[in-house]
Amino acid sequence: MRLLRWIIPVLLLGLAACGPAKKSVYPPTLSIQQLVVLPGGQWQLTVRIQNNSYGGMDFKSFDGQLQVAELVPVRLHAIFDLDIPELAGDVIQLNVLPTAAMTQALQAIAAKGSAGALAYRVSGSASAKPEQEARPRSFDFNGNDWISPVPGIPDTYR
């Protein structure tokens, strides 16, 4: 009888430890997949959100900034509902109004054709709910990359 009092709690504790393993969660990576200059001067950005976690995440929004070269940044903000599986990515589109200096910098690389490139930086925070959690949380993101004109497609950069 004494042995049963000792074994049952140990067995229950052992069974509790056999539950599903918690999947590692990491901040996402955001980058510009494509930039299109619209007729009114706005930029239509295709932003890629890369889920770097070992479990799916339901992304709700992001708030940050886009900086081109070393110029004054503009705000990036989007609200959406995007379920991205583990170690996968997806895109959203949003329009931004660039500063005059940003427009001039983009025009300067457009004149160079496919040899032109312009550095950019995106930073901020994204709201996402990991699949094993009850509520969304905030994840910081920072990314640096380059955009270049797409040959044969005017006003389009990748």
Q: What is the CB neighbour count within 10 angstroms for residue 17? A: 7
Model pTM score: 0.84
Q: What is the pLDDT of residue 23?
A: 86
- In the chain, the DSSP E strands lie at 29-37, 43-50, 57-68, 74-84, 89-96, 118-130, 137-147, 156-157
**What per-residue string of b and e applies to 20-57 under the rule 16 or more CB within 10 Å gives b?**
eeeeebebbbbbbbbbbbeeeeebebebbbbbbbebbb
Question: In the structure encoding, which two tokens stand for residue 75, read together?
Answer: 């705000």
76-135: pLDDT as tens digits = 999 999 999 999 999 999 999 999 999 999 999 998 988 999 999 999 999 999 999 999
Percent of the chain with pLDDT over 90: 83
- Kindly state the average pLDDT of the residues 12-36: 81
- The matching CATH number, chosen from 1.10.260, 3.50.50, 2.60.40, 1.10.10, for 22-157 is 2.60.40
